[in-house]
């Protein structure tokens, strides 16, 4: 437990020192999406009887939670390849699970900050939705899944450049195809089925249903929980493999 | 304290360790000497869980590192060759995180952090961000951090590389004190004078194998007490003599060409391997 706390605390101390910069950086993309898609393009569009901006905000929160949780991979990469701080964890008598959980929880924390930023932006532009347990539960699980995936892939890549490729091939396509900007139900059957495999699709759907006061059902939570567990197991295996 | 039996490690086609065996007793200050790429850092990385061992057996304080890696790690402290401190954290925070990783309680962490900062003469820098420290201070902090959890065996991988001579001597004094306080020290270096000054025993590693070991004086005396460097048109030669008079007599017989000096560990390494350490 102390080891887990040590890994988490280290990330939090760093986050606290850079908080102002981080909040600014985390605000840029959501603000641009709100301005371009939410207000300019979607100003005259309604989805299921709601304004496009109301449709967009929960999806944007899900997308931000994914990108910020996955951004842990970049932090771990820097610690591993440039600062060599990862060696301190490798040499310490700590179980791999403690390291993975500590980093993953740090990713979840970053993701929660980014969700708060998106909701604040929504509030600023007049979006009033209900952000209860169904909403936060879906996004917390989504964050845990992508933070765990971040730890796993950060251990498997051989250089910082490889990490950028993963962002290009995994995170960016998922951000645009995971139900953030359009309802998956509007797609033809095979495309909808394929995109339903993405964890982000489940997170967007559940977060949106929760924010609209509807019942998302148990399925998205189960799917996200299973994804988080699978990625965490992958991360534990990958930490052992990170030894040269 | 440390026992290595036939360690083997390869990185692809390149063989880093080729059957390395050695023993280090409790309380010893053992210097592991060899040129770059000889296998010194690989050995330390394996013993600290940073690299996998292909074959062989290693135990620390009687604990097999493969059978019980966490117990073995608890006995060790590591000062890596490069700075691996957290630059964005303060000196105190670096020590505190390390203490947590080794399971120390809050009071114990605070007490040991204070003690070790005093030990390395950095008590006034506890609130400084590490990235603002000089190279020498960073190295002292790395030593304090490695000692935080009370290791029985301290690994120092090239602890003075890149430091100026004055700071290097301060680090040497600190290392001597650590050993006098009962910690076994395993030091890698390619600075000959560092090994001569610090080590109670030296081991020469070349191409992944231990080629000789013993007390520095014994290893050097096997060649002789005095060396004569002769610079000839076909290259540089070193000849060894038991006495100074003999060495001086040789130079006079050669018409004064050459210089006399004491034999050093570099000579011993060169005569064993045909390679220079530094």
Written as one string, the DSSP assignment of B33-94 is: E--TTSSHHHHHHHHTTSS---EEEEEETTEETTT-HHHHHHTEEEE-SS--S-TTSBHHHH
Q: For A101-120, what is each residue's pLDDT tens digit?
A: 999 999 999 999 999 999 99
Q: pLDDT at residue A159 above 70?
A: yes
Cβ–Cβ below 8 Å for A92 and B73: yes
CA dist B44 and B17 (Å) reads 11
So what's the pLDDT on residue A37? 85
How close A137 gets to chain B, by Cα (Å)? 30
DSSP state of A181: S
- Positive or negative CA dihedral for A216, A219, A221, A227? negative
**Are residues B198 and B151 located together in one domain of the fold?**
yes
Residues 6+ apart with CB under 8 A from B246: B226
Q: How many residues does chain A have?
A: 244
Residues B199 and B228 in one domain: no
Taking CB atoms and an 8 Å cutoff, what residues of chain A touch B102? 92-93
Contact B78 A91 (CB under 8 A): yes
Whether residues B128 and B254 fall in one domain: no
Pick among A80, A88, A158 to test the B interface (most B CBs inside 10 A): A88
Cβ-contact B278, B192 below 8 angstroms: yes
Instruction: Please compute Rg for chain B using Cα positions.
Output: 21
Residue in A13, A75, A91, A242 to test binding to B, most B beta-carbons within 10 Å:
A91
Supply the mean pLDDT for chain B. 88
Same domain, residue pair B208 and B232: no
For residue A5, the chain B residues in CB contact (below 8 A) are 100
CB contact under 8 A, A5 and B100: yes
Please indicate, yes or no, whether residues B15 and B151 belong to a single structural domain of this protein.
yes
pLDDT in tens, B44-84: 999 999 999 999 999 999 999 999 999 999 999 999 989 99
Q: What's residue A36's pLDDT?
A: 87
Choose the closest CB to A91 out of B50, B86, B97: B50
Measure the CA–CA gap between A64 and A171, rounded to whole angstroms.
Answer: 11
Question: For residue A203, what are the contacts with CB-CB under 8 A and spacing of at least 6?
Answer: A62, A65, A66, A138, A139, A141, A142, A178, A220, A224
Of B11, B74, B89, the CB nearest to A13: B89
Any chain A CB within 8 A of the CB of B8? no
Nearest chain A Cα to B65, which residue?
Answer: A93
Same domain? B131 vs B19: yes
Nearest C-alpha neighbor of A151 from the set A228, A68, A76: A76
3-state secondary structure of A108: helix
- Gap from A9 CA to chain B (nearest CA, Å): 8
Q: Is the pLDDT of residue B278 over 60?
A: no
Highest mean pLDDT among A53-67, B111-125, B213-227, B244-258: A53-67
How many residue pairs from chains A and B have C-beta atoms closer than 8 A? 76
ipTM, two decimals, is: 0.86
- Is A93 close to B88, i.e. CB distance below 8 A? no
Of A9, A88, A93, the CB nearest to B70: A93
Q: Please tell me the predicted confidence (pLDDT) of residue B274.
A: 67
Query: Higher pLDDT residue, B190 or A69?
Result: A69
Determine whether the interchain pair A84/B84 forms a contact, defined as Cβ–Cβ distance below 8 Å: yes
Q: Establish if A87 touches chain B: CB-CB under 8 angstroms.
A: yes
Q: What is the band of B233 on the pLDDT scale with cuts at 50, 70, 90?
A: confident
Query: CB within 8 A of B44, min separation 6: which ones?
Result: B78, B155, B157, B186, B188
Per the rule left: phi > 0, alpha: psi between -120 and 50, beta: everything else, B162 is: left
Q: What is the predicted pLDDT for the residue at B249?
A: 83
pLDDT at B161 exceeding the cut of 90: no
Q: Please, where are the H alpha helices in chain B? A: 40-47, 69-74, 91-101, 106-119, 135-147, 165-180, 192-198, 216-221, 244-253, 265-273
Establish if B51 touches chain A: CB-CB under 8 angstroms. yes
pLDDT of the residue at B230: 78
Say yes or no: B251 contacts chain A, CB-CB below 8 A: no
The answer to whether the Cβ–Cβ distance between B88 and A14 falls below 8 Å is yes
Q: Is A6 on the interface with B (CB under 8 A)?
A: yes
Check pLDDT > 60 for residue B277. Answer: no
Q: At residue B234, does pLDDT exceed 80?
A: no
- Split into its structural domains, chain B has a count of 2
> With contact defined as beta carbons under 8 Å apart, do A109 and A192 qualify?
no
Q: Which domain does B72 fall in, by range? A: 2-213
> What is the four-CA torsion angle of B78, B80, B83, B89, rounded to 10 degrees?
-20
Mean pLDDT of the A137-153 span: 96
State the pLDDT at residue B180.
87
Spatial separation of the C-alpha atoms in residues A4 and A8, rounded to whole Å: 6
Best of B96, B101, B156 to mutate (most A CBs within 10 Å, chain A) = B101
In percent, the amount of chain B with pLDDT more than 70 equals 98
Indicate yes or no: CB of A95 within 8 angstroms of CB of B93: no
Q: Note whether B111 and B235 are same-domain residues.
A: no
**Which one of A62-71, A125-134, A182-191 scores highest in mean pLDDT?**
A62-71
Check whether residue B12 and residue B122 sit in a common domain: yes
Contact yes or no for B101 and A2 at CB 8 A: yes
Q: What is the rounded average pLDDT of the residues A217-229? A: 96
Indicate whether B247 belongs to any domain: yes
- What gap in Å lies between CA B147 and CA A242, rounded to an integer? 25
User: What's the gap in Å between the CA of A158 and the closest CA on chain B?
Assistant: 14
CA distance A11 to A72: 9
B182's torsion region: left (phi>0), alpha (psi -120 to 50) or beta?
left
Q: Does B236 touch chain A (CB under 8 A)?
A: no
Q: How far apart are the C-alpha atoms of A232 and A103, rounded to whole Å?
A: 11
CA pair distance A39, A28, nearest whole angstrom: 15
Kindly determine whether residue A95 and residue B48, on different chains, have CB atoms separated by under 8 Å. Answer: no
Beta strands B184-189 and B29-33, pairing class: parallel
Domain match, B132 and B229 both: no
Residue B274 lies in a domain: no
pLDDT at position A114 is 96
- The pLDDT value given to residue B170: 83
Check residue B224 and give its pLDDT.
Answer: 83
B144 and B231: one domain? no
State chain B's maximal CA–CA distance in angstroms.
72
**Does B70 reach chain A within 8 Å, measured CB to CB?**
yes
Co-location of B238 and B131 in the same domain: no
Residue B248 and residue B117 in one domain: no
Identity of the residue in A5, A85, A91 whose CB atom sits nearest the CB atom of B73: A91
When CB atoms are compared, the residue of B74, B78, B87 closest to A83 is B87
Do the Cβ atoms of B238 and B266 come closer than 8 Å? no
Nearest-Cα distance to chain B for A106, in Å, is 15
pLDDT digits (tens, 9 = 90+) for A186-220: 888 888 888 889 999 999 999 999 999 999 999 99
Q: What is the pLDDT of residue B207?
A: 87
Query: Average pLDDT in the B79-106 region?
Result: 94
Domain extents in chain A: 2-241
Q: How far apart are CA A126 and CA A123, in angstroms?
A: 5
Q: How confident is the model at residue B256 (pLDDT cuts 50, 70, 90)?
A: low
């Amino acid at each position: 437990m102390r080891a887990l706390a040590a890994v988490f605390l280290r990330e939090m101390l760093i986050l606290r020192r850079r908080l102002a910069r981080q909040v600014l950086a985390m605000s840029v993309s959501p603000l641009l999406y709100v301005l371009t898609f939410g207000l300019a393009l979607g100003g005259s569009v309604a989805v299921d009887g709601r304004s496009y901006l109301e449709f967009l905000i929960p999806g944007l929160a899900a997308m931000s939670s994914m990108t910020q949780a996955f951004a842990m991979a970049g932090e771990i990469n820097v610690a591993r390849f440039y600062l060599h701080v990862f060696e301190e964890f490798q040499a310490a008598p700590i179980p791999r699970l403690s390291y993975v959980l500590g980093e993953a929880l740090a990713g979840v924390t970053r993701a929660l900050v980014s969700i708060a930023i998106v909701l604040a932006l929504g509030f600023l532009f007049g979006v009033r939705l209900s952000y209860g347990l169904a909403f936060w539960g879906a996004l917390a699980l989504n964050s845990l899944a992508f933070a765990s995936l971040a730890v796993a892939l950060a251990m498997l890549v051989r250089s910082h450049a490889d990490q950028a490729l993963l962002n290009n091939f995994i995170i960016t396509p998922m951000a645009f195809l995971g139900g953030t900007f359009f309802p998956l139900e509007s797609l033809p059957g095979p495309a909808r089925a394929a995109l339903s495999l993405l964890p982000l699709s489940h997170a967007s759907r559940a977060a949106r249903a929760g924010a609209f006061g509807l019942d998302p059902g148990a399925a998205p939570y189960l799917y996200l929980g299973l994804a988080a567990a699978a990625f965490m197991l992958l991360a534990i295996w990958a930490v052992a493999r990170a030894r040269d | 304290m440390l026992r290595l039996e036939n360690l083997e490690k390869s990185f692809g086609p390149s063989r880093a360790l080729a059957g390395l065996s050695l023993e280090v007793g409790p309380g010893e200050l053992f210097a592991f000497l060899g040129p770059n790429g000889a296998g010194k850092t690989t050995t330390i990385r394996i013993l600290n869980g940073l690299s996998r061992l292909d074959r062989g057996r290693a135990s620390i304080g009687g604990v097999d590192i493969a059978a019980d890696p966490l117990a073995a790690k608890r006995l060790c402290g590591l000062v890596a060759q490069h700075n691996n401190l957290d630059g964005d954290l303060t000196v105190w925070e670096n020590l505190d995180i390390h203490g947590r990783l080794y399971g120390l309680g809050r009071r114990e962490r605070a007490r040991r952090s204070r003690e070790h900062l005093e030990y390395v003469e950095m008590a006034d820098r506890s609130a400084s961000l590490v990235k603002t420290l000089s190279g020498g201070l960073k190295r002292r902090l790395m030593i304090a951090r490695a000692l935080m959890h009370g290791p029985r065996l301290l690994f120092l991988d090239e602890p003075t590389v890149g430091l100026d001579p004055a700071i290097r001597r301060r680090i040497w004094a600190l290392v001597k004190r650590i050993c006098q306080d009962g910690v076994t020290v395993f030091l890698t270096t390619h600075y000959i004078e560092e090994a001569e000054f610090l080590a109670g025993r030296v081991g020469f590693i070349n191409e992944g194998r231990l080629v000789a070991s013993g007390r520095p004086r014994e290893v050097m005396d096997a060649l002789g007490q005095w060396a004569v460097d002769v610079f000839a048109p076909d290259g540089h030669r070193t000849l060894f003599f038991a006495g100074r008079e003999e060495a001086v007599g040789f130079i006079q017989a050669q018409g004064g060409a050459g210089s006399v000096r004491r034999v050093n560990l570099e000579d011993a390494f060169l005569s064993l391997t045909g390679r220079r350490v530094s």
